[in-house]
Chain A
């Protein structure tokens, strides 16, 4: 059984926040999903290697050539707020907690 507290902890790790009612619903659903995935424990995987990719991954090298980068004006088109050509974000230090 996964507890509401554990779900709240996972939410914190994932940078998500839920209301108490949402947390209740999610806990029930997570518990059901984890119950479904727990059946993997019955598979004997002794000496079985893990598969994380289906293609042979190799390092790919290329010449270190200077190329034109995307112009800043283009990149700024999707930035929610900007100031003087820089991405604007709220202050990192939370003054209210000082």
Chain B
């Protein structure tokens, strides 16, 4: 089975008609992984026996016509816990950790009949923009193995883009779904904060983290996101809402839609070739009947600074739990309890994680709190207000997802500030808690460019509507690494 020539709707049609068996589809998925993952290196753990059993059970029961995801294989980012399947967050700290429960999103995918294939590489504890911070292995970009897959959901994006699996879950704290989706030419969707339960997601920045989807197509993304949304009594930040189909506006076109193009997202630091590709997309939207106008989000340039204080402060607090006592890495040759904490943490965490714990601890420390954390939290309000002002007059914001296409492995890893700037176009969305997606907007020098679509809270359906119109008007999503199509 070649996942590039099909989509979840087609797989579902074949499965429910009995033309395709989930057992065969699952077995074929593991064959694809065995073949392609030698160079992509996206998977950290495989769930082969359990997946075969699940698929066989689904085949035996028959695939229900209205259970669109039943029998379809899916991969899970390794910071989302899976019962009985090793979950490491790509850290030495959790190298041997086997969860005893499923994250809510995993339970929901299992209830929908999906087959969990394995766990996908990432930056350690989701901290990074290239997946080079993984303590386990270096994943490569599906289009060019000398380049990074992006991060932190780099394994999820590369595995989908390379055709190893049809879909995956990722997490997005500052762009960690959208940026790797852009670098690999696929669809990445970060829902509104509070739309999807974070229970069972190994926390990074609790007020920013969102679980979302990585898929080959916009319609596939809607199917997968529909399956994981909803209030969860185990996560009190999930928002109660009536059930809805986020893909309900797909196919309706964009006639009359008002789209804003922020001038700050096409300015200094953005590769002119990337900007040109986004301007071309704007022209397409106009041709399809939408209005596209330039707007200003004046506090954009402060987003990265505010983000690193807020995210690192929350991370320093969340990562206190890794103390070597109840689970995770414990250092040897320790004399006393303090020694257990200090040595286990110093040996178990990688350098980027330590850097963020240090920045967070510093920002929250006596004498620094007002100048750092409080000021960042106020600037966050101004960034959110910028968006609110634009959404008074517009349905959607369009922008590049990233300032450049994927960069070379090793090019930025020793320079944290340069690496942090890579997320300047995705971070504001997390600070404001908005939904946003990245879709393939064509190519620059053979590498995919991401078009980012941002909407007001809980307006995911508008993003899917506009993303599907763009997808239908172009053949970018059909183009695949290696150019077999």
Residues of A within 8 A of B (CB): 2, 7, 10-11, 13-18, 26, 29-30, 32-34, 36-41, 43, 45, 48-55, 57, 60, 62, 70, 74-75, 77-81, 87, 89-94, 96
Contacts and interface: CB of A to CB of B under 8 A. Distances in A.
Top 4 nearest A-B pairs (CB, nearest first) are A54-B433, A50-B377, A78-B327, A45-B378
B228 to A, nearest CB: 17
Nearest to B305: A37
Contact of B382 (A2, A37, A45, A62): A45
A90 B355 CA distance: 28
Nearest to B319: A14
A75 B328 CA distance: 12
B125 interface: no
Given A16-B357, A92-B337, A52 B207 contact: yes
A94 B416 CA distance: 38
A92 B417 CA distance: 40
A39 B302 contact: yes
Contacts of B376: 37, 40
B326 interface: yes
Interface stretch (B38-46, B249-257, B367-375, B461-469): B367-375
The binding surface of chain B is classed by DSSP as helix
B358 A7 contact: yes
Interface of B: 96-98, 100-101, 193-194, 207, 233, 236-237, 239, 299, 301-302, 304-306, 308-309, 316, 320, 323-330, 334-343, 345-346, 349, 354-355, 357-359, 361-362, 365, 371-372, 374-382, 384, 416-417, 420, 431-433, 457
Given A10-B362, A29-B416, A40-B302, A50 B357 contact: no
B392 to A, nearest CB: 18
Contact of A79 (B301, B327, B340): B327
A87 B374 CA distance: 39
Given A60-B236, A78-B327, A54 B416 contact: no
B342 A17 contact: yes
A75 B345 contact: no
Q: Which of A29, A37, A91 has the most CB of B within 10 A?
A: A37
Contacts of B432: 54
A32 B305 CA distance: 12
Contact of B342 (A15, A43, A89): A15
B97 A92 contact: no
A62 to B, nearest CB: 7
B305 A51 contact: no
B98 to A, nearest CB: 7
Contact of A14 (B96, B316, B337, B375): B316
A57 B334 CA distance: 42
